[in-house]
Amino acid sequence: MREIVFDTETTGLDPASGDRMVEIGCVELVNRVTTGAVFHAYFNPQRDMPAGAEAVHGLSIGFLESKPLFAETASELLDFLGEAPLVAHNAGFDFGFLNAELARTDLAPICTSRMIDTIALARRRHPGAKLSLDALCTRYGIDRSHRVKHGALLDAELLAQVYVELTGGRQIGLELATARAEMAAQAHGPVTRVSGRADGDMRQPRPHSASPEELERHRAFLEKINSPLWTG
């Protein structure tokens, strides 16, 4: 199954009041595994950049003025998204900005039925816990040391790892390992391995039957028990 994990950076919080999307980063997953395919673009918002927003993502108007308008790359973005489900952290926010930009270019909005919100997934899995991307990276041991400021592609890459963990990443890994083992068995015959042993040699079974001496000691021990339950 193909899915796209994405993140946006904006000039503010509300597209209805004139805030614009200035960056988008998308990461492709197939069967919850990153393929290496990404889409990343900056956009000229044709407006000022509030200081508060710039402090979050570090994108200045001086930097963005030379970037294309959203309309110039919209078709390329939509081709990359295809019909895949779209995964985002607080997805309603990112969908709102993406659909607002599409509306400005007279393109159809992306249906929210395709939306997967990792905050909702995290809330169900970890009720009462912190749900920020940073907090989830810490919980799952995902390295975010290179995340100095918010960046759409970097955050999408981190979120892809979080999403895999939220949806059973370790179990998926076990399923892939089992599938590989089955393929190897079909190609080369069955292989028997002992967990934790690098050479894969089969350990000889240990004897488990009691010896005559052990049975006699057990009989003598039982005779010493007064009124055993199993004889009542």
**What are the residue numbers of the active site?**
150
Sequence-distant (6+) residues with CB within 8 A of 164 are 29, 32, 33, 172
User: What tokens does 188 get?
Assistant: 């080369």
Distances, alpha carbon 207 to alpha carbons 201, 210, 211, in Å:
19, 9, 10
- Residue 196 sits at φ, ψ, to 5 deg, of 90, -5
Q: Give me the residues paired with residue 116 across strands.
A: 87
Residue where the block lists tokens 């939306």: 115
Q: Tell me whether residue 169 is exposed, middle or buried, using C-beta atoms within 10 angstroms of its C-beta: 0 to 12, 13 to 18, 19 or more.
A: middle
CA 165 – CA 97 distance, rounded (Å): 26
> What is residue 22's three-state secondary structure?
strand
